[in-house]
Amino acid sequence: MAAIQHRGGGRRRALAEINVVPYIDVMLVLLIIFMVTAPLITPSAVKLPTVGKATRAPDTVVEVDIKADKTLTVLLRDPKAKPGSSGLAPQPTTMGDLQRAVSQLAQQSGSSLADMPVLIAADKNVKYDDVIKVLNRLKQGGVQRVGLAVQATGQP
């Protein structure tokens, strides 16, 4: 409420003052509430959409499998290769030897590393970071065509 101030001479003048201390107190309480509750809020899990129809993978491809325990295997999928050829069976490898193993399989199929498509098939429990590390390692090795394997539901 405005207070009326008397000064000598009989003139009355309204003095408008607002007490802001209660507003500051309320603001500080809200700030503390947000600071306490912010770490407790867990971000929601990202639910990726399922793939209805995926493009078909090329016939000849080097496949890099990332298992749930982070082990890597490489194999060559080539319908023209003779049964029993090396490379058709999954070969365990490490992250350091990945480029060499993919290069050998590409040469075995008669293609260059830049032209050979590579398909990364990762278990759904593998962290996204591990898939990106494999992708980055392949790109550093000169692989130009990299794809990710998905399971299609068959529905559009």
Which tens digit of pLDDT belongs to each residue from 21-80? Answer: 889 999 999 999 999 988 887 664 434 435 566 667 677 888 888 888 888 888 888 777
- What pLDDT is attached to residue 154? 59
- What pLDDT is attached to residue 83? 63
- What pLDDT is attached to residue 49? 39
Cβ atoms of residues 96 and 124 within 8 Å: no
- The domain spans of the chain are 3-40, 61-148
What is the rounded CA–CA span in Å between residue 32 and residue 14?
37
Task: Say if residue 10 is exposed, middle or buried (CB neighbours under 10 Å; 0-12, 13-18, 19+).
Answer: exposed
Cβ atoms of residues 110 and 52 within 8 Å: no
Which tens digit of pLDDT belongs to each residue from 85-121? Answer: 655 778 888 888 888 888 888 888 788 778 888 888 8
∠ CA 57-58-64, nearest 5°, is: 70
In angstroms, what CA-CA distances link 122 with 38, 68, 77, 129?
34, 8, 16, 11
- Reading the block at residue 9, the tokens are 């001479």
Using alpha carbons, select from 69, 134, 133 the residue that is nearest to residue 102: 134
CATH class assigned to 61-148 = alpha beta
What is the rounded CA–CA span in Å between residue 62 and residue 98?
11
- What pLDDT is attached to residue 46? 39
- End-to-end CA distance of the chain, in Å? 68
- What pLDDT is attached to residue 32? 95
Whether the pLDDT of residue 129 is over 80: the answer is yes
